[in-house]
Amino acid sequence: MINTKTKLFIATVHLILSGCVTYYPQVVDIPLIKEKGDVRIDAGAFLIPNINGSNDDSEPIEDAGIHSTFTVGITNLLAVQTYLSIDALFRLHMQGALGLYNKFENNTVIEMYSGFGYGNGYMRMFSDFEDDDYYLVFTQCNFGKTNMGTKHFDYGIGLKGGYLFTNIPNNSLETIYKKNGWMIEPTIAFRFGGSRAKFSTKINYMWTNTVIDEYYYPVSVSFGVNFHAGNRRK
């Protein structure tokens, strides 16, 4: 007869192989809004899908996902941002935020967004799937510079901090998960291309105390396109 420790060990192995964590680092755009009417639309795909989930060779692309961010300057001080990501198993994350921004000389921009996020996914225990959802309150500060050189190169650095409220479906996982906890998520973003349309890439890392380190995949990498619909002025 299998004892409790053995069951927990087997469950842990499945957790690692199944990528059960429904919240992973999200590649939200660092828009670097400069003025009222500035619009940034960013869309792309996760470059390393399995780092957020399954390592099971029988399902090598189950965590392939796409994402999109929309940001607009509604005044010369305030901006609104929305974000959505979803993967092949329809695990989703969405968030909205209100932000403050300021443009300095040489196209340097600082931003601060605060908002609320929600996600829904699954946890796989053996052959069963169980729903798991969470809520997130957060603040993110961004710093960056735009339109450098002939390739209109942009870079941005962001730091997101927040608090996760998680619904854990199985009490036997409480040695691995906490229901609530903090998260810190730095981001580096790059864009290059034309004055309106650019290629974009983002790298995210995450620290959290809601999952112990051995059972969490902390990195997300994405590649996509970014469109600017604001004023052409630098």
Question: For 1-18, how does the pLDDT look when each residue is reduced to its tens digit (9 = 90+)?
Answer: 455 555 444 444 344 334
3-state secondary structure 146-214: EEECCCCEEEEEEEEEEEEEECCCCHHHCCCECCEEEEEEEEEEEEEECCCEEEEEEEEECEECCECHH
Instruction: Tell me the two tokens of residue 194.
Output: 């034309």
Map residue 73 onto helix, strand or coil.
strand
Q: Is the pLDDT of residue 85 over 80?
A: yes
Q: Is the pLDDT of residue 26 over 80?
A: yes
Flag the least confident range among 162-176, 186-200, 215-229: 162-176
Higher-pLDDT residue of 124 and 23 is 23
Listed by start position, the domains of the chain span 4-228
Under the banding of pLDDT at 50, 70 and 90, the label for residue 105 is: confident
Higher-pLDDT residue of 184 and 15 is 184
Q: Do 31 and 69 contact (CB within 8 A), yes or no?
A: yes
Give the CATH fold of the 4-228 domain: Porin (2.40.160)
In angstroms and rounded to an integer, the radius of gyration of the C-alpha atoms of the chain is 19
Higher-pLDDT residue of 104 and 50 is 104
